[in-house]
Amino acid sequence: MNNDIIEKAEKCIVNTYKRPSIVIEKGRGCKVWDTDGKSYIDFVAGVAVCSLGHSHPRVVKALCSQADILFHVSNLYYTVPQVELALWLVENSFADKVFFCNSGAEANEAAIKLARKYFSTNNEKERYKIISMERSFHGRTMATLSATGQDKVKKGYDPILEGFDFVPFNDIDALANKINSSTCAVLLEPVQGEGGLWRPAPGYLKEVRKLCDETGALLIFDEIQTGIGRTGKLFAYQHFGVEPDIMTLAKALGNGLPIGAMLAKEHVASAFVHGSHASTFGGTPVVTAAALEVLKVLSEEKVIEHCGRIGAYFMERLMWLKSRHSSIRDVRGIGLMLGIELDTEGEPVVNKCLEKGFLVNCIQGNVIRFIPPLIISKQEIDDLVLCLDEIL
């Protein structure tokens, strides 16, 4: 059946993805099955989305229960699930206010707009530039690809939007030399995901915060991939003793349902007033009810603590793998956001893993990334590592 579905897809779906020749039909926990009945252990998790795995019973129940009550009334009206989710996020983060949307790109769009609106509202319209990091990834809309520090994402879309400058990640001197009176914000991922799983150097984020405070610029953390437990804490900024002014979330917040969120401190969020920004489907009852249940499961079932422990175990196993194979240049990451950098192209390794029943993906051409559900087990990790050992 796989081939039949793929032939139909080639006729009617825009060819923006390079996909393997399998059709995923169902999933449960950390496993998925294709239409031919073959099973795979999922170390991609919808690109760091399905943190509770596939078809988690509590999330399914919350989704179905809310769907039976109310699907959608738009943001012209208050709804209980949206308010409850916003309160949970505010009570468990640095933020005072939340704006809901549908994706990470939209959350970053909202953050970019809020940063500019904040200074415009304060009669500093000349402060509109945003400094982002080289290797960063912030989305595929025109504003967010303009804010992304990877040329491959921007190719073919000139003219790129103005107002974005770039400096190397972990280079505080470069940032200090670039930031000036026209800078409204510094935008970065606390741990670069798509860019290659790069962690901040010790003290780097504190120095960025200090620079922003000294110059009056806002600090925006893109936690779309790092947020909601992926690093072993609810938010990655909690590892580093630094709070942003604005933070963006998406991916794991809905465990597969489309939701994004922009969080901000009160004095910044107040720049958004009636009509400043909007989203028809942002924070609908069904999606927010499911997202709230995701957060409750993470907390009540101590999934984030498990992520920290199992992530450390996974790192140990990858270091063991590196000791056996000179083709592994580096092992990087944090929590369950890990990767191995190879001295050759990574796609053949991805394809061989697929043949052997494991879903992994490759970023930056030669980094094999592992972003499994946070409920992954030691046995499933061991199975993957032994598979990689054989392949390499």
Residues making up the binding site = 104-105, 137, 140, 222-225, 279-280
CB 237 within 8 A of CB 190: yes
CA–CA distance, 282 with 117 (Å, rounded to integer): 20
CB 112 within 8 A of CB 144: yes
CB 376 within 8 A of CB 30: yes
The annotated binding site for pyridoxal 5'-phosphate is made up of 104-105, 137, 222-225, 280
The annotated binding site for N(2)-acetyl-L-ornithine is made up of 140, 279
CA–CA distance, 237 with 94 (Å, rounded to integer): 10
CA–CA distance, 158 with 120 (Å, rounded to integer): 26
Helix (H) or strand (E) run with residue 222 in it: strand 218-222
